[in-house]
Chain A
Amino acid sequence: MRREGENGYRIPAGCAISGIFDRTGEKINGWEIVKSIAVMHDRSNGLGGGFAGYGIYPQYKDYYAFHIFYDSLDAKHECEMFLERHFDIADLSKIPVRKNKNITDEPMIWRYFVIPLQSKLVESQLEEENFTRRCVLHINDKIKGANVFSSGKNMGCFKAIGFPEDVGDFFRLEEYEGYCWTAHGRYPTNTPGWWGGAHPFDILGMSVVHNGEISSYDANRNYMESAGYKCTLLTDTEVIAYMFDYLIRQKQLTLQEAANVVAAPFWQTIAAMPEKEREKNIYLRDVFSSLLITGPFSILLGYEGGLMALNDRLKLRSLVVGEKGNRTYIASEECAIRAICPDVDKIWAPKGGQPVILSLDQQA
């Protein structure tokens, strides 16, 4: 079985996505999101499911939580040597799983709570975030059989080949609680043999679940590789996560600005804007022209303290938002919201290219 991304092996996929966010920071049990995504069973085909939870590791909230798949003991050994050379490892353990008859061929799945070694940081002349990013990209590109699939602080991704509800059961999500959850059910056209290709895709806590197949992929990838990111999976999700990491963390754009880059307003819309807004949008489209995303997509972008939902500018994929009290629900289909919140106060569909940005109330 070829590993996804190897020798240009790219698999198109359709999907279902779902997310829950509590702006007061109140904890939501991981099983809630499993119930939601399970309703959209028919939007996935059992070849990939996954979740991201935020606020789930309060005991290690200042440490990067690396979730790593290993294909072999050799890979694990090599990767751990690398981690030891670059990081202070506060804790490491297998990620607890429960046997599920539909989840098979699991790799070794380990979790590490790490912070960069001070001496290495000084030597590299990078700040903590850049240093960690480089290490993650290095492992994924260079250490064969090791894949860091989650690397944020106080968050974690859980993913596998299987239907999402089985994946949630396998990873015992009912044992985790967080203020934000996203979920994904995958409908790939080919059979991926490898778990790394499932969603969410995460880089330093910026995680993406995505439904769609983007036509701008290679233009986006070329730009990101030129900026130092190595796309190893050749999936849309991977490049989209890198794009947001780049625009928001490296270029310091606001979420709204980043949304205006990837789902840019049409020129005719820009022409009708007030001058200042127009200038700004022309600037963003011109400067980041290669980071526009075309083709259908609906994404949930999770990050520390917030969640953003975004549709392509033509709204070629469904995306629905529901609100109830402090909680916001976002899903590919309304049924996935109703399944866990039957009496929502408000339900609506955001326009194409119009981001829905949620963030924690102050202090949380």
Chain B
Amino acid sequence: MPLNYIFPEFEVVRNADQCVACRACERQCANEVHHYSEEYGRMIADNSKCVDCQRCVTICPTHALKIVKSDNTFRENGNWSAQTIKEIYRQADSGGALLSSMGNPQNYPVYWDKILINASQVTNPSIDPLREPMETRVFLGKKPSTITRDENGELVTKRPPRLELSVPIMFSAMSYGSISYNAHASLARAAKELGIYYNTGEGGLHEDFYCYGPNTIVQVASGRFGVHKDYLNAGAGIEIKIGQGAKPGIGGHLPGKKVNEDVSHTRMIPMGSDAISPAPHHDIYSIEDLRQLIYSLKEATAYQKPVIVKIAAVHNVAAIASGIARSGADIIAIDGYRGGTGAAPTRIRDNVGIPIELALAAVDARLREEGIRNEVSIVVGGSIRSSADVVKAIALGADACYIASSALMALGCHLCRSCQEGKCNWGIATQRPDLVKRLNPNVGSKRLVNLITAWRHEIMEMMGGMGINSIEVLKGNRMMLRGIGLNEKELEILGIKHAGE
């Protein structure tokens, strides 16, 4: 029936003068957009299958291809966008909830882009990172509240378990299953080389990657996939995932088509079965239950590992974080509503949660007011897009940032937001061996190292400009920030002044 038909969102534009019909695009496109027509003696495209992942554009040896947004339009309507109309057609057709991936793409304010950074002029000198030490090392974990000395009066220097980072950036949780073996290998190797951490996500830890344990955070989510004692002890820290920014209030989704033998083994679930984590942890119905899980994990690992509790940024995030800080967690990770995912219900991704900038400012302020800021470190993600976002996040009060979408982009992700299909042409969000092998971990890890190294340089430049030579005191240094185009309430929540003040 004609109502089934939705005009394709993208158009494949092929320059006939340049195309040599080498058929590389055909071989590279897992969505089967391109094929060679014997009848016409040229390449033709099925636009309806195109997700605009840019793979064919990138590999075309003669640069004959481009993908453009289709200019086919519904009658314009300020209330009913084309996207909304199409979604109604799709749902009327299928009866299903809409599924998407990556972060919330809607046009909400990005507060990072409304915050400006300070620099020194005259009254104090800027510091030149090319000529002076510029320190970016941070520790995550509780700070001891009392100082103890031995019988000789020397400081007892034992500290609670912690993570040491050469630069306050970590790779955020992405499970093996949602992303490929080679993507994990790239992240793990890069984390090791950089002196930071990557996060297993909720899919367990492939046995090949136990060797990266000192740079690994192992996650425990509501589905408990792949969780066992060796797993818990393999990492440098353990993260309890309560929620994630892309889908607050629900658990992880891994479509069965991505559960191959290796994934099934690592996750400890049958091959081909959908891995849908329960919305809550069924042993955590309240804050006192969280405390028990935290201490169970600490018991299982002999109090050697810091425990991170990861939550999505939701309305009451400050009070929730305060509760977590009092429950024995060493680190709180907060994920903003722009945070990515391999699969999430579209409505939840696009409508639930709050911006990380506001959540971070509120949590940091609340913990300070209550005098418990030193009980926990704060890590924020969702989404940190550049070194400037990192600097702003730290100045708003974060101890470190989680990045995932930007890390995937370093690996080749072009944000086509079709991870749930399992046909990632870049070898990232797929388990198909022919696609996975496109991502070379040697190249991938190198690109990740490059990205973080570049960001670190930029962070040092910005710090030097502010006259700050250690990132420890950029943390919570909100006087280094000014808002631009923000109203009084927004400034109040962010705890910053407006530019010009």
Contact = CB atoms under 8 A, between A and B. Distances in A.
A225 interface: yes
Please indicate which of the listed interface residues B127, B155, B373 has the most CB atoms of chain A within 10 Å of its own CB. B155
Interface string B349-392: 00000000000000000001101011000000000000000000
A218 B477 contact: yes
B120 A268 contact: no
A215 B467 CA distance: 6
Interface in B151-210: 154-155, 157, 159, 162
A10 B501 CA distance: 11
Contacts of B139: 286, 289
Contacts of A264: 470
Contacts of B470: 264, 292, 294
A131 B138 CA distance: 35
A295 B468 contact: yes
Contact of B474 (A219, A280, A314): A219
Contacts of B162: 286
Given A215-B466, A217-B477, A222-B368, A287 B144 contact: yes
Contacts of B157: 279-280, 282-283
A310 to B, nearest CB: 16
B413 interface: no
A156 B161 CA distance: 45
Contacts of B125: 295-296, 316
A13 B472 CA distance: 24
A306 B371 CA distance: 32
Interface residues of B, number: 41
A72 interface: no
A220 interface: yes
B473 A293 contact: yes
Nearest to B467: A215
How many A residues touch the partner, as a band? 35 or more
Nearest to B471: A289
B476 interface: yes
Contact of B371 (A189, A228, A280): A228
A108 B167 CA distance: 52
Interface stretch (B129-137, B230-238, B260-268): B129-137
A117 B472 CA distance: 42
A253 B135 CA distance: 24
Interface string A86-101: 0000000000000000
A212 interface: yes
A12 B467 contact: no
B147 A222 contact: no
B90 interface: no
Contact of A295 (B124, B147, B497): B124
Nearest to B365: A222
Contacts of B132: 314
Interface string B488-501: 00000000010001
Given A279-B157, A314-B469, 18 more contacts: A189-B123, A212-B124, A213-B124, A216-B468, A217-B477, A219-B474, A222-B477, A251-B147, A268-B133, A282-B157, A286-B159, A289-B472, A289-B473, A289-B475, A290-B472, A292-B473, A294-B468, A295-B125
Interface of B: 120, 123-125, 127, 132-133, 135, 137-139, 143-144, 147, 154-155, 157, 159, 162, 368-369, 371, 373-374, 397, 466-470, 472-480, 497, 501
